[in-house]
Amino acid sequence: MSFNPLSAILKEHKLEGHNYIAWKQNLDIVLTAEEYKYVLTTECPPVSAENASAAAKETYRKWCKSNEMAKSNMLASMSTVLQHQHQESSAKSVAFWSIMTKVMKEGTSVRDNVIEMMSHINQIEDLGGTIDPESQVTIILQSLLASYRQLKLNFEMNKRAYTLAELSTELQSAEDVMVQAKAAIMSSWPSSSSSKPGKGKKKAQNVVVPKIAKGKKK
């Protein structure tokens, strides 16, 4: 791990299993400062061919190096027990890495995304790992597309303890509202064949972000 005063944050607040949220926040700070965080959301470039340009070879080399450094930061900031568990079980390491770097793809339904995230969580638990319920919800919310930003803020402000089933239901309802709002906006614009330039255009309706049902606070 390269020298960086911020790395002391990870040493002082190592991942113990129950403090995932705080650990992930600290890890993001360090990886951002060391310019390694981009590998979490960027796929590895194609392996450079012999006749590849110098720029292509450098891009591949830099990504691989950043990826190794990011993984080193993660392992170094885990408790000794978790380090041994991850080093001894490659399957668990892959599952843990997958759930941390998972980002919902455009065109994917929120239901399918939640199911995939739950599959990763179950896999980690089958391998002996644990992620507390609050962290599970946070991980799933962090994987959502940018279009769900306001919805994520609503969840954070509501402070309700959701089960994964309740979370999935709320997200699907929100997705339905967003799809309907988008369809209403599209239908408000006249077709090019039946309208004249400058006439007949309807004002786009405002997209309404659904409010999260309030429940008992923790």
User: What mean pLDDT, rounded, does the chain reach?
Assistant: 78
Segment 23-27 shows an average pLDDT of 86
pTM for the model stands at: 0.48
Q: What pLDDT is stored for residue 204 in this prediction? A: 46
Segment 34-61 shows an average pLDDT of 82
Return the percentage of the chain with pLDDT > 70, whole number.
78
- C-beta atoms surrounding 186 within 10 Å: 9
CA distance 60 to 37: 16
Residue 21, helix vs strand vs coil: helix
- DSSP bridge pairs for 217: 160
Q: What pLDDT is stored for residue 112 in this prediction? A: 92
Secondary structure letter of residue 105 according to DSSP = P
CA distance 192 to 190: 6
Secondary structure letter of residue 148 according to DSSP = G
Q: What pLDDT is stored for residue 88 in this prediction? A: 58
The least confident of 105-114, 132-141, 186-195 is: 186-195
Start-to-end Cα distance in the chain:
38
Write the pLDDT tens digit of every residue in 61-108: 898 889 888 888 888 888 887 777 666 566 666 777 778 778 888 888
> DSSP readout, 158-218?
HTB---HHHHHHHHHHHHHHHHHHHHHHHHTSPPTTT--TTSSPPPPPPPPPPPPPP--B-
Segment 22-39 shows an average pLDDT of 87
The least confident of 130-144, 155-169, 196-210 is: 196-210
Secondary structure letter of residue 107 according to DSSP = T
Contact yes or no for 136/79 (Cβ under 8 A):
no
The yes-or-no verdict on residue 191 having pLDDT over 70 is no
Where exactly are the structural domains of the chain? 1-88, 90-189+202-218
Tokens of 179: 């799809």
Segment 179-190 shows an average pLDDT of 80
